[in-house]
Structure 1
Amino acid sequence: MRQTRLVVDLLDRWRVAALGAGARPDAESTRAGEQLLTRWREPHRHYHTVAHLTAVLDVVDQHAELADRVDVVRLAAWWHDAVYDPRAAGDANERDSAALADSVLTGLGVPAPTVAEVRRLVLLTAGHEVAPGDTDGALLCDADLAVLATSPAAYERYAAAVRREYAHVPEPAFRAGRAAVLTGLLTLPALFRLPPLASRWEVPARDNVRRELAALTEPTAGPADLR
């Protein structure tokens, strides 16, 4: 793997989280981080990339005081999109990511209860439904959805990157599927659960999602309209 500054910095962050969660301080742990980064840099990814990973980790770090076990949340951030196949159905990517985390972290010596908690957190990112009082789950899911609250221009870049990941899907099917995802988000009681984040992000996020949903559900131009 080419050791760019970003990669070096991310590997440092991986080691801190892994050691903090109980992994052995050996070369195997570093190799696991390198293998994870290889996954995050797969060529079919356009949004679910190291940039997304970095953004999620940044939110977690900036609000570390809100977590019960911040290193566990950091590890869950690393694993939550470790497996990402746009052709997979339902929550298969999250389930496969959680299973991979279970296998690798166990091999690194992370205690079984911690591995189980990482797995649980990763699975939460499938639907972003968090139980009251689940502070660590709330922080991970809020960080994962932070892109929804970016500026309209940044949000449009995010939506365009998601569309590129699903380039194999015909436009009508993509519009229907994406609209279903966005509708599901809007039906959540709140997109963001932690008060410091919700107070800043809830309104702009819902505005962005509603705007994209409206664009997706607009009738497409027919031949007679193309002039």
Structure 2
Amino acid sequence: MNDGLLPAEILDRLKARHAEPQRHYHTWAHIEALLAWLEKTAGWIHDRSAVELAILYHDAIYDPRARDNEARSAALLLSELDGLLPKAMLASAETLILATAGHSMPGTADHLLRSDSAFFLDMDLSILGTEPATFESYEAAIRREYAFVPPEDYRAGRSAILRDFLERDRLYFTDYFHNRLDRQARSNLARSIARLQQA
């Protein structure tokens, strides 16, 4: 992480948000995992600070019952950091965060920002391509976050989400993540969908 990018008090508030009781996967451990990917892919990232901000803030607001977490997280980034960091950096981070709503590329003509978006979105979905045990722990944590959803409704909704990813021609936008994670991710997704349908 870039030393001094955020004041300590702001970073502490972000960590406190990620310790909220409704979170089981979307915790600070998720943020740390993405920061580790940022270190590994630093050579391909054009605006490292903007990507780091997006990582730190993309789940800052997380209410499993809400549909606007991404927009509210981006708004929090702007409200907390306006005047502290360059507006262009904040605007790029905002674009990255908003792209996580549908995990699709933003409609910007800025090819460098599109490249950073591809890496950031792939980092966020890297969990799908982990070894089976880690993926199963992830799926169990997501279920706990949606414990308020009745079993039948959860199975239908979760199956639809996972199937949407599985049916994409390209699950990961970058060759870096595609070559490393695609095969395992598709295996994990197919296995989880089958289990949900059999439950």
Fold-level similarity (TM above 0.5): yes
Separation (CA, whole Å) in 2 of partners of 1:181 and 1:94 = 17
2:18 is aligned to 40
1:210 aligns with 2:190: yes
Identity %: 40
Which of 138, 158, 166 is the aligned partner of 1:158? Answer: 138
Between the aligned partners of 2:178 and 2:147, the Cα distance in structure 1 is 32
Q: Is the 1:129–1:188 Cα contact (8 Å) retained in structure 2? A: no
Residues of 1 paired with 2:26 and 2:17: CA distance? 10
Name the stretch that deviates more: 184-193 or 143-152. 184-193
Question: Would the aligned equivalents of 2:25 and 2:142 in 1 still touch at CA under 8 Å?
Answer: yes
Amino acid of the residue matched to residue 213 of structure 1? I
State the alpha-carbon separation in 2 of the partners of residues 84 and 114 from structure 1: 23
Deviation for aligned residue 1:86: 0.8
Amino acid at match of 2:134: A
Structure 1 residue 55 corresponds to structure 2 residue 33: yes
Task: Quote how far apart the aligned CAs of 1:198 are.
Answer: 1.0
Q: 1:186 aligns with which of 166, 169, 177?
A: 166
Distance 1:191 1:31 in 2: 37
Per the alignment, residue 7 of structure 1 pairs with none
Cα distance in 1 for partners of 2:119, 2:4 equals 18
Task: Name whichever of 123-132 and 193-202 sits farther off.
Answer: 123-132
Please state if 1:96 is matched with 2:72. Answer: yes
8 A Cα contact 2:49 2:89, kept in partner: no
Aligned length: 194
Following the alignment from structure 1 to structure 2, what is the Cα–Cα distance between the partners of residues 137 and 145?
A: 12
Q: CA distance change for structure 1 residues 161 and 111 in 2, over 3 Å: closer, same or farther?
A: same
Aligned to 1:105: 81
The residue identity in structure 1 corresponding to 2:171 is L
CA distance in 1 between counterparts of 2:119 and 2:5 reads 15
CA distance in 2, matches of 1:55, 1:135: 20
Checking the alignment, whether the CA contact within 8 Å between 1:102 and 1:115 is kept in structure 2 is yes
3-state SS in 2 of match to 1:210: helix
- Do the aligned partners of 1:15 and 1:30 also contact (CA within 8 Å) in 2? no
Q: Give the match for residue 3 of structure 1.
A: none
The letter of the residue matching 1:101 is L
Is 1:176 aligned to 2:156, yes or no? yes
Stretches of structure 1 that go unaligned for 5 or more consecutive residues are: 1-12, 19-28, 221-227
Change (3 A) 1:16 1:138: farther
Alpha carbons 2:2, 2:49 under 8 Å: kept: no
Q: CA deviation at 1:14?
A: 6.3
- TM-score between both structures, scaled by the size of structure 2: 0.92
Structure 2: how far apart are the matches of 1:180 and 1:141? Answer: 20
Q: Which has the larger radius of gyration?
A: 1
Q: Equivalents in 2 of 1:188, 1:135: separation in Å? A: 19
Is 2:63 aligned against 1:85? yes
SS at structure 1 position matched to 2:117: helix
Compute the RMSD of aligned alpha carbons: 1.6
